[in-house]
Amino acid sequence: MNRFAGMSFIRVFLLLAALFVAGSSYAQSSAELKRRKDALNREIEMLRRSQNEVASSKKLSLKQINALNAQIRLREEKIGTINSEIRLLDNEISENTSTVRSLQSQLNKLKKEYAAMVLFAFRNQSAYSKLMFIFASTDFNQAYKRLKYLQQFGDYRQKQATYIEQTSRELGVKIVQLDHNKKSKSTLLHDQENEKSTLGKEKSNQAVQLSKLTKQEKQLRQELSKKQREAASMTRAIQTAVAREIAEARRREEAAARAAAERAKAENRETPAAKPASKGTSVLASTPEAAKLSSDFLSNRGRLPWPVANGTITERFGRHTVGAGVTVDNDGVSIRTNQGATIRAVFEGTVTQVGTINADQYIIIRHGEYFTVYFRLRSVSVSRGQKVTVKQPVGVVATDSEDGTTEMQFKVWKGSVPMDPESWLAN
């Protein structure tokens, strides 16, 4: 009977442990999905407000079309997140249903075993029967074992009652959870339908606005031409800054090599073998300090803070098609934010250049072998050669006087090669 008690306890313990692990995993996944959905809601709402501010009084522009596209993209991502939540809930409902059945079966077995024990105890409840059971032993050892058996039988009855109580309580909890899961799924399905309906309206609005913009072909081409000239100027500024940093780093490297040779000569030591000169942009990480900064910057990929406290990406990195065959190249990302928003450094480094392109200011900050670029600023609060820290304010974003939009451009370059900034920023 004692061995059977141990087996029942193990079954109940393993079942409860499995429920705890599954519940913890679900809670983590569900919390992460909810966090992402809340972030998407904030970005969608910010875009909606900014679009409402400029829609009635300002002319239609590519930036507004990009904002509409971003809003649709975020809405689709939100629907995808809701679908993931529904799939997670479906799995949880399935697991909870299975658990309820298992607990119910376990409870029935425990009750049946307990009823049999109670019946056995009732039939053998008199002290005379117990004494006869002991005195009928063939020797002292058997009598001692029978006495221990009677004691253990009583203990097992108490444990079995505890198992029944624990299993009943857990069954009640799981039934409540199952009911909660089903209600949550119903709410999510309702949200999903609302989001799909809103997405349909946004796509219809997008088609209307694209049609309007396409009819304004002259204005569109002028805007694209201006955008391309600014992009070319920005690219030249970055390339100039990188080339200057490479040249200065190479001069320092050569000067250090000459100084080492002169010291060796003065001390009558053998001149150290000359190290091969660093090639390309690798010279930017040739010193221990620069190499560490480059390594630290790289190790934070996907975790860098955003250059603004609140914002959403309206134009992504790479080549995009807007409307009927209009192609736009972007070597960074455009981030829509609030008017007067503070621009922050995303990592520690040194300001390598501050300049102006068509009344909009920009900042280039070096992080060892890497550079971050902050463009379309109204004002700048740092100067060339100044060291900055993570999230240090470096300027204020500009608002376009023509279309009323407030956007900055953020870029990440490794030496002279542009990279996708979105992959470096924290989600």
Residue 22 pLDDT > 80, yes or no? no
pLDDT tens-digit readout, 212-221: 766 666 676 7
d(CA 71, CA 149): 73
Fold of the domain built from segment(s) 219-423: Glucose Permease (Domain IIA) (2.70.70)
- Output DSSP code: residue 425: B
pLDDT of 63 reads 80
Residue 280 pLDDT > 80, yes or no? no
Most confident range, picked from 62-71, 100-109, 168-177, 332-341 = 332-341
Categorize the per-residue pLDDT at 5 as very low, low, confident or very high, splitting at 50, 70 and 90.
very low
Residue 357 pLDDT > 80, yes or no? yes
**Among 202, 415, 397, 192, which residue's Cα sits nearest to residue 298?**
415
d(CA 252, CA 274): 14
Query: Which helix (H) or strand (E) is 397 found in, with range?
Result: strand 393-397
d(CA 49, CA 194): 19
**Token pair belonging to 354:** 């501050």
Residue 400 pLDDT > 70, yes or no? yes
Q: Residue 104: CB partners within 8 Å, gap ≥ 6?
A: 171
Q: What is the dihedral of CA 202, 64, 229, 356, to 10 degrees?
A: -140
What residue ranges do the domains of the chain occupy? 2-215, 219-423
pLDDT tens-digit readout, 71-127: 888 889 899 888 888 888 888 888 778 877 777 777 777 777 767 766 666 655 554
pLDDT of 224 reads 75
Please, are residues 331 and 235 in contact by the beta-carbon 8 Å criterion?
A: yes
pLDDT of 371 reads 96
Q: Residue 423: CB partners within 8 Å, gap ≥ 6?
A: 301, 302
Buried b or exposed e, range 222-256, using 16+ CB within 10 angstroms? ebeeeeeebbeebbebbeebbeebbeebbeebeee
Residue 3 pLDDT > 50, yes or no? no
d(CA 144, CA 288): 79
Using DSSP, how many helices (H) and how many strands (E) does the chain show?
6, 12
d(CA 262, CA 272): 10
